Structure 1
Amino acid sequence: MEICECLDTGSEFPYPAAETTDPEVPLAFGVVLLRLLSSLPDPVIPTILHPRCVDLTNRDEAFELLDAVQPVAVNVWISLTAFLHFVSKSSENENQAELLASVFAPILLRDDPSSFSPPISPRKKREFLLYFIS
């Protein structure tokens, strides 16, 4: 993948943003972002906090949960969710935030297969992410 090669080497991307009209280019960047996030050894929100994510009922509670997350992970979370918020608001599709949450939530809130606690439902993961991107 050319995008991965550019990221690895620090080379310029061959797709100038102002000149790119091919809808496949943003999709390719999205795929690379998902692969990068899924390759992290731990999810951005630590698995131990996932049960608390299920109990949250509003955006303020969701942001309070970030107090229990390592600062570097909070920076990643805020940057990613701000980007997803921007993408959803830039889209003409009124369901864009839901679509993005459906794709990114399982990666950002990965279940730990070695954990004895039950996994969080995909719907609850989406709801948690939507507190940040809607």
Structure 2
Amino acid sequence: MNRLPDWPARLHDFIDGVKRSPFAWDGHDCFIGWAADAVLAMTGEDIAARYRGKYKTAKGGAAVLRRAGFDNLADGMASLLPEYPEGVSRAKLGDIAAIPTDGPFGWSLGIVNGETILTAGEKAMGVSPLLTATRAFRVG
């Protein structure tokens, strides 16, 4: 998988189009509507194709994750994108970061934006410090 030549503009347009969208399990969650859609915008490849439309709730999403053989969302993402073994300090603009949470998936995903991570927030886009993440995945 490679980033398209105009990936910075595509990523900007993607973020601009969804930054005011509230979190929703049926399309704008941290995995499909945020991380995977950002990857799709930058590369043209849909890493979440087999998961789209398979869940509408947190419980349903957790079941899909377990059926796919993963205990948590970060391990699921590691099956789709190469992980930085050195950790988040190597992550670059547009890469995907995983933040540990107490939620049903054990992790939340976001888009690396310099020293911050852009996240799918409850009412609109959220921002967290990069160092709140403990895992990061390379896009292209």
Asked if these proteins are the same fold (TM beyond 0.5), I'd say no
What TM-score do the two structures reach when normalised by structure 2? 0.29
Question: Which structure carries more strand by proportion?
Answer: 2
What TM-score do the two structures reach when normalised by structure 1? 0.30
Structure of higher CA gyration radius: 1
